[in-house]
Amino acid sequence: MKPLPPPRSKTLAAWLAVVLGWLGAHRFYLRGASDRAGWLYPLPSLLGLWGLWRVHELGQDDRLAWLLVPLLGLAITAAMLSAITYALTPDERWHARWGAGRAPVPNTGWGPVLAAVIALLLGGGVLMATLAYSGTRLYEWQANASAD
């Protein structure tokens, strides 16, 4: 008989998504290192950080950075959406999926709620900044193309 996996904490999963979600830590916590979707977080995040470095070193006219920076914003936004989803999942449903068949259903308290609030603030802010940055760069590119 296959041993039961350890139960997973909803609070810890939500906070991992808030703090280290841009690296996929929440996915690895829940599903392990073999989770293919979890490995989709680090690459765009690191490319986005490279884009931020390029903006810092080469200035805002670096077109490669224009493409790379939004990747980090989208990875952070996706992680915050995961945090909100985890935090707002009812305790019974979470326990049925991640509690590994153990009883009783724990009461998670305020930890996931606070994670959801912070994730909503961070995710909304990062998404708006990403859209503003991308829109500004697109406008500048079009303005320069029409001026030439």
- At 120-134, the pLDDT tens digits run 999 999 999 999 998
- pLDDT of residue 100 exceeding 80, the answer is no
Tell me the two tokens of residue 107: 């009461």
How far is the CA of 134 from the CAs of 32, 43, 68, in angstroms?
Answer: 34, 19, 10
Instruction: Answer for the pair 83, 17: CB distance below 8 angstroms, yes or no.
Output: yes
d(CA 146, CA 49): 31
Domain assignment of residue 42, yes or no:
yes
Domain assignment of residue 3, yes or no:
no
Over the stretch 2-59, which tens digit does the pLDDT of each residue have? 666 788 999 999 999 999 999 999 999 999 999 899 999 999 999 999 999 999 999 8
Q: What is the mean pLDDT of residues 89-95?
A: 89
Range of the structural domain that residue 38 is part of: 10-147
- Check residue 63 and give its pLDDT: 84
Q: pTM, whole model, 2 decimals? A: 0.86
Band (pLDDT 50/70/90 cuts) for residue 77 is very high
Domain assignment of residue 71, yes or no:
yes
Domain assignment of residue 128, yes or no:
yes
Rounded to the nearest 10°, the torsion over CA 101, 26, 85, 77 is -170
Number of domains observed in the structure of the chain: 1
